[in-house]
A and B are shown apart, each in its own frame.
Chain A
Amino acid sequence: DQQVKQNSPSLSVQEGRISILNCDYTNSMFDYFLWYKKYPAEGPTFLISISSIKDKNEDGRFTVFLNKSAKHLSLHIVPSQPGDSAVYFCAASAATTSYGKLTFGQGTILTVHP
């Protein structure tokens, strides 16, 4: 039972355009959501997070949107840069029980073409 799903295995975007990565979850207990970026042979790097009490959080070029009724979140990267090419994971936790236990999606490979 996959509680966090990233239905797009890959996404290809032109440099300067917007990248939109999507994530769906099924567990209503999840109340904290994160996006991580990962390069091969490295650990995931934290990008941005959002609590369930918010519907949007921005940090520079990165914006995360949360739609609780649809159990859906998305990551927008504007403008996209070639250095953004990596695997992006969304993750969720039931922070009231534990922040350290994250449930990850399967990841989306983002390729940004110059």
Chain B
Amino acid sequence: KAGVTQTPRYLIKTRGQQVTLSCSPISGHRSVSWYQQTPGQGLQFLFEYFSETQRNKGNFPGRFSGRQFSNSRSEMNVSTLELGDSALYLCASSLPSTGELFFGEGSRLTVL
């Protein structure tokens, strides 16, 4: 069974640009969550989607947005990039009635 797939794995952007990250969940998983990992703040929850609806949102500015498609694939977008957005962005999927999140390998974003 294929795991959670995130693309791209690595990317470099400059301040002010925008970026879109993609996540394909495990087959059959309809819940997708996004997390940001930085050395200073650790792993922080961004948002959660279930059946194309945002179910929860973390404490991030509006520059961070996401969406989920009917096939459960999800994308997150960060606009007007800042240096502090440099981080590992992790996507996780789960079955709706269980608490075990399965994480992808992440997308490493560097903002110059």
Contact = CB atoms under 8 A, between A and B. Distances in A.
Co-assembled chains A and B: yes
B15 interface: no
Nearest to B31: A100
A102 interface: yes
Nearest to A106: B42
B83 to A, nearest CB: 21
Contacts of A101: 33, 45, 48, 56, 58
The number of chain A residues touching the other chain, given as a range, is: 20 to 34
Contacts, number: 69
Contact of B31 (A32, A42, A99, A106): A99
Contacts of A103: 45
Given A100-B33, A100-B56, A100-B94, A49 B103 contact: no
Contacts of A95: 99
B70 interface: no
Contacts of A42: 105-106
Nearest to A40: B88
Interface in B32-75: 32-33, 35, 42-45, 48, 50, 55-56, 58
A16 interface: no
A109 B5 CA distance: 26
Interface residues of B, number: 29
Nearest to B90: A43
A113 B41 CA distance: 29
A36 to B, nearest CB: 8
Contacts of A41: 105-106, 108
B42 A46 contact: no
Interface string B60-104: 000000000000000000000000000000101010111111111
Contacts of B50: 100
Contacts of A98: 48, 55-56
Interface of A: 32, 34, 36, 41-46, 49, 89, 91, 93, 95, 97-107
14 contacts: A43-B105, A44-B43, A44-B103, A49-B100, A99-B31, A99-B98, A100-B31, A100-B50, A100-B55, A100-B56, A101-B45, A104-B43, A104-B44, A105-B42
